[in-house]
Amino acid sequence: MQDKELMRLLGLGGSTASSIIRLASSKKDLKELFPVLNSACSGLSFCQVFDPRAIIDEAHLQLAYLNAKAAFEEDRNMSKSMQIEMLLFAAMTRQINEAIRIAGAKSSKKMLLFCSDKKTFDKIKPNFYAFEEFRPSPAHSKSAMAALGIKSKEQMSNAIALTGLQA
């Protein structure tokens, strides 16, 4: 199933259309970049960086974003920030340290940047050298799915949603 078809079936697009996902290279190291990303946050608007090897495709991040947003709106969030909440959903775990290990950015030279909206993206844009579209190959997606222990994109959407269930 193609990403666009899966996103259509899951009803993604309208509420996630303004989000921006790009491969990026930062001018700062990760320790210096995180305060910049945090300062750009306002309410549900935020940016987060991921290890691109841990992200299956754009639908994976969009589902993680929608689930994190819903968790905050329904007051069932597990963390205090949207950035960490989305990381938890993307990594499909409830443990912050585990989520950072699985899906957190490992290098400032090659990361996957998610911004919830263009305004927030414009605030942090000067801190990066370059951006590229995120177009993972089938081999990349298969490798990321295997690392996350899932067998299909449909199973991915179920696993992401289950991550947010109350214990």
Q: Write out pLDDT tens, residues 141-165.
A: 999 999 888 887 777 767 676 665 4
List Cα–Cα distances, 51 to 6, 19, 73, 137, 151, in angstroms. Answer: 22, 18, 27, 16, 20
The pLDDT-based confidence of 41 (bands split at 50, 70, 90) is: confident
pLDDT score of 55 more than 50: yes
Beta bridge partners of 25: 130
Question: In this predicted structure, what is the pLDDT of residue 44?
Answer: 76
pLDDT score of 10 more than 50: no
28, 127 contact by CB (below 8 A): yes
pLDDT score of 131 more than 50: yes
The pLDDT-based confidence of 17 (bands split at 50, 70, 90) is: low
pTM for this entry: 0.84
The pLDDT-based confidence of 8 (bands split at 50, 70, 90) is: very low
Which CATH number, 3.30.930.10, 3.40.630.180, 3.40.50.970, 3.30.2380.10, labels domain 3-10+19-163?
Answer: 3.30.2380.10
